[in-house]
Amino acid sequence: MNMRTDQPKILVLYSETGGTHRNAAEAIQEAIEIQYPDQYDVKLVDIWSYCGWPLKNFPSVNHLFRAREIISKSSMRYSDHVAGLRFFQWFTKPFLRRIVDRMMVENPCDLIVSVHPLVSAPVIEILNGKNEIPIVVVVSDLATQNIFWFHPDVDFLILPSEQTQRTALRVGMDWKKIFLLGVPVGMKYCVKLETQAQIQNRLGLDTDKPVILLAGGQQGVGPIRTTAEILDHEFNGINLVIISGRNKHLQSQLQGTHWNNHVIIKGYVEEMWDWMWAADILISKAGTGMLAEALSVGVPMILFNRVPYLEDANVSFLVNQGAAIWAPTPKSVANALKYWLERPQEREKAEKVCRRLAKPEAARQLADVLTDIADGKIVSV
């Protein structure tokens, strides 16, 4: 018997349509490299980067569409039905067939992992029957009804929550293909190496004042400036950290504003875990990546913005569980913040709920599952 001498290759497919999917892909890569150093070759590929017009522009156009409620509502309804999935496959197949074939030639692998619903369905459809490479879909939405995640021909399906598992079973997914693990997040959101006071001190925060972290995701969306100004006006004695993401215009506006409190303004930050660990309360949009990271850290959330109809399930899930408050206007954000600052016992309850819902071991467990699949130790039925 010939023993294999090369490293098994794992290809992780994602899309630059927001931080959630890239963060999940990077968390998978990190976990495998930490647990199995130099044993597996893990490569991240944005499938749309291989495409020509019109699909090459999909990520940038998607940012605009997601912010439009009518379009987002229509696309969500469309993605709720099997007919929508079949139409999407029919529409994209002619564009993507050669693209996927070229991608596979340039990136030979032993396992394909997809962390984006609009990547998963067409790739599975095109490769189905053409090769024996197992395909794993990692659902990186905390709570979703998007049927694009649930292709019947996938080999394995990694799910984040019992709510998503119920959806998968309802649409006919084989339970023997399902692993309920959670959303993979980076290791630095799972392991706290310093006390909160030490982290606050290092970041230039006043350790005697509560730290409020205000963030609008990678693109810096939502009424961040208005919310920040109202919080600064209505509260005295707080640290207010504002993350504007890649929104340069917003960052410039914030830097030109006079503030009464201790305010720190940041653009896009790689070390988001530091600011999460330093925070007492997170005010955020309802993107899955940031929410999963906040749960892992154990910081309660005030959700002030969501992609219409696409992130509604995230809001309902966390609010119903008691980990977050939904506050869709700047004034309601201020009221929610006042409620938690004046009632530390209620905030502590929310922190405990966050830790109960958190799956900090998800990336590590997923690394074990994926490497076993790549090695042929787990096979699809």
List, for residues 246-268, the tens digit of each pLDDT value.
899 999 999 999 999 999 999 99
**Residue-wise pLDDT tens digits, 209-238:** 999 999 988 888 889 999 999 999 999 999
Longest dimension (CA), the chain: 73
Amino acid letter for position 35: Q
Q: Partners of 23 in the beta sheet?
A: none
Mapping DSSP to helix (H, G, I), strand (E, B) and coil, where does residue 72 land? Answer: helix
**So what's the pLDDT on residue 120?**
80
Amino acid letter for position 313: A
**Residue-wise pLDDT tens digits, 305-331:** 988 777 888 899 999 999 999 999 999
Instruction: Please give the share of the chain, as a percent, with pLDDT higher than 70.
Output: 86
Task: Please answer whether residues 183 and 294 qualify as being in contact, where contact means their C-beta atoms are separated by less than 8 angstroms.
Answer: no
256: left (phi over 0), alpha (psi -120 to 50) or beta: alpha
Give the residue with greater pLDDT, 72 vs 198.
198
Instruction: Please give the share of the chain, as a percent, with pLDDT higher than 90.
Output: 63
Q: Name the band, by pLDDT with cuts 50, 70 and 90, for residue 72.
A: very low
Distance of CA 194 to the CA centre of its chain: 25
Q: pTM for this structure?
A: 0.87
* Cα distance between residue 214 and residue 228, in whole Å: 8
* Domains present along the chain, CATH in parentheses: 9-184+361-374 (3.40.50.2000), 188-357 (3.40.50.2000)
Which region among 100-109, 173-182, 239-248 has the lowest average model confidence (pLDDT)?
Answer: 100-109
* Cα distance between residue 47 and residue 80, in whole Å: 23
Distance of CA 341 to the CA centre of its chain: 28
